[in-house]
Amino acid sequence: MNAVQGIPAARLERHYLPSGTKVLLLPDERFASLQIRLWFDSPLESRMITPAALLPRILKRGSAVNPSQQEIVIALEELWGADINTRVSKYGTTHTSAYDLDLVDPRFLPDEVALLRPGMRLLAELVYDPFLPDGGFSPSFFREEQQILLSTLERIKTHQRSAYAHLRCLASLFQGEAFAIHHLGIPEELRELEPTGLLSYYRSFRQSAALSIGVCGAFDSLSMLENLSECFPQVSPPPALTSPVPVESVASPSQIREELPGEQSHLVMAFSSGLAYSHELSLPLSVVNGLWGAYAHSRLFRYLREEAGLAYAVYSQLDRQWGVLFVTASISAEDAPQAEEIILDHLASLKRGEITEEEWQMTLATLRDTYLQMSDEPYSLLSFAHYSQLSRSSLSLPEVMAALQKVTKEQVIAAANCLQLHISYLLAGNEDSIAEGASNE
């Protein structure tokens, strides 16, 4: 146990399989499950985001060995209730497809039960030996998953107004760039996608996506590496990834207003810092985020929501890869100018160093608790290890905590002064237009 941070000092081991695949091992006996994760990392490109979002959903439906979802379910049940999940994400200039296998820790099962290799083989079959009737993806699987994904994307605009406002702000901030696209793709492209096009993408994915494997739980490292080598012998190409260039400030911030029928408006303000992930002020910028709006004790919650009563919800979030901090507030459109003024006033206050000891300590404590919570979750530990790899950071979780404790108010003030308003985006509910249209009918 690390006495200073209170985080168990589980060591992260980095290895390479004979195939060239990088392996991140986190041996930790605290957990009652064993999690194995495959990460496939590719350069983020606009043309691949939509098929990359659909592909894992199709692959999960069946393999050549188990060609139906029912057979996959039975195979997982035979592994004492194992589970397989998939997800896609964007991280800076990298696109990641992740495939997770969760197994019960063999320590809690009878000695004769073998889970590890059968579970790994099942996961490998789904990715590398998919169900391809007549040489292509099942048309019925394809149409079903295509429609589910399309419905999910369409609901963002109609039922997740805050997320849609954030997406529209991203579209302006990263105009013409792949990061502006939702990680689940573009509805119009999804409608036009055909099974043959997805198969073409799958073949390209197999050849170009760089595989890394992470394992967290109680295991012997040498035995685990032997199992991984046997179950995942496929040669992995070296990663052709780049670090994002942080978004620089602009001389004149953009003011954008769009209308969408609805009862609530959403204000999204993007602040660029020009600070790369590796910059010495990047971690202090996380403290700025905590002081300003990330938590329930933060200023924007206390003053914009509680005191002024202008926001139904308000929060800030930091993307350290791009050095951009977003403030999102659910408000009435008529209150947007006053809300924006309060948001900017509190940033100016932080830039002047007007930070009370109470909010300083509360913010550091909350950040510390966030990392402590991560240390108790295999999923979070593996995600941290992978994101650190993509960020080219060698710091472990305890080391990040130690660095956080050394952050000074002077560094936080300097980081705050790097923030400049880049875009102010308002998604306004146009009730007046709706009423006018109804009265003209």
Per residue in 291-342, pLDDT (tens digit) is: 999 999 999 999 999 999 999 999 999 999 999 999 999 999 999 999 999 9
Q: Is the model's pTM score more than 0.85?
A: yes
3-state secondary structure of 34: strand
| pLDDT range class, residue 10, cuts 50, 70, 90 | low
Q: Which residues pair with 14 in a beta bridge?
A: 24
Beta strand spans in 128-208 (E): none
pLDDT value at 221 more than 60: yes
435, pLDDT greater than 80: no
Given this model, what pLDDT does residue 263 score? 81
- Give 83's strand partners: 102
Give the pLDDT band (50/70/90) at residue 8. Answer: low
Rounded average pLDDT over 82-88: 97
Share of the chain above pLDDT 90, in %: 87
Q: What pLDDT is stored for residue 114 in this prediction? A: 85
Q: Which CATH architecture has domain 13-231?
A: 2-Layer Sandwich (3.30)
- Whether residue 439 is predicted with pLDDT greater than 90 in this model: the reply is no
**What are the pLDDT digits (tens) for 374-398?**
999 999 999 999 999 999 998 989 9
What pLDDT is recorded for position 242?
87
Instruction: Report helix, strand or coil for 303.
Output: helix
Q: Of 54-58, 77-81, 206-210, 238-242, which gets the smallest average pLDDT? A: 238-242
Take residue 183 and report the two structure tokens written for it.
């990680």
- Percent of the chain past pLDDT 70, that is, above it, reads 95
Same fold, 13-231 and 254-439: yes
pLDDT of residue 438: 31
We find that the CATH architecture of domain 254-439 is 2-Layer Sandwich (3.30)
pLDDT tens for each residue of 132-162: 999 999 999 999 999 999 999 999 999 999 9
Share in percent of the chain as helix, strand, coil (round to 5): 50, 20, 30
Listed by start position, the domains of the chain span: 13-231, 254-439
The DSSP symbol for 265 reads E
Q: Number of C-alpha atoms within 13 angstroms, CB side, residue 272?
A: 19
Give the pair of three-digit tokens for residue 209.
Answer: 């996506």
When the pLDDT of each residue in the chain is averaged and rounded to a whole number, the result is 93
- Integer Cα distance of 66 and 69 in angstroms: 8
Confidence of residue 11 (pLDDT cuts 50, 70, 90): confident
Phi/psi-derived region of residue 355, left when phi > 0, alpha when psi is between -120 and 50, beta in every other case: beta
Range from 174-188, 227-241, 285-299, 420-434 carrying the lowest mean pLDDT: 420-434
Average pLDDT for residues 259-287, to the nearest whole number? 96
Average pLDDT, integer, range 76-105: 97
**Start-end of H helices in 15-63:** 46-59
